[in-house]
Amino acid sequence: MTPDELVAAACPKIRDLGFAYYFVPETLAKGDALGLDLFHFYVLGRGGVLGDVESGVVASAFGYFNPTVVAQIWDSAKQRMAPRDAARLYFECAADLGRARFSELDGLAEFCASADAVNQAADPVGLALYAGFRAEPMVDDLPGRAMQLVSVLREFRGSAHLLAVRASGIDAKTAHFLQRPNDIGMFGWTEADAPELGQRQQDALVKAESLTDALVLPAYSVLDEAGGQALMAGLDQIEAVLAP
Q: Could you list the residue range(s) of the whole structural domain that residue 11 is in?
A: 3-242
Cα(133)–Cα(84) distance, integer angstroms:
11
Which pLDDT score is estimated for 207?
A: 95
Which pLDDT score is estimated for 60?
A: 96
Cα(59)–Cα(97) distance, integer angstroms:
27
Instruction: Name the pTM for this structure.
Output: 0.95
Q: Which residues of 118-151 are buried (b: 16+ CB within 10 A; e: fewer)?
A: bbeebebeebbbbbbbbebebbeebbbbbbbbbb
**Where in the chain does DSSP place strands (E)?**
none
Which pLDDT score is estimated for 187?
A: 87
Contact 4, 217 (CB under 8 A): yes
What type of residue sits at position 206?
V
Please enumerate in sequence order all residues whose Cβ is within 8 A of that of 162, keeping only pairs 6 or more positions apart, or say none: 63, 64, 172
Contact 152, 130 (CB under 8 A): yes
Among 155, 203, 109, 125, which residue's Cα sits nearest to residue 15? 155
pLDDT along the chain (244 residues), means of 10: 96 96 96 95 97 97 93 96 97 98 96 98 97 97 98 98 95 88 85 86 93 98 98 97 84
Taking CA 129 as the corner, what is the angle to CA 127 and CA 131, rounded to the nearest 5 degrees?
Answer: 65
Which pLDDT score is estimated for 188?
A: 84
Please tell me the total count of domains within the chain: 1
The 3-state DSSP class for residue 5 equals helix
Which pLDDT score is estimated for 118?
A: 98
Contact 152, 133 (CB under 8 A): yes
Which pLDDT score is estimated for 189?
A: 87
Within 10 Å of residue 210's Cβ, how many Cβ atoms?
Answer: 11
Among 222, 239, 227, which residue's Cα sits nearest to residue 109? 227
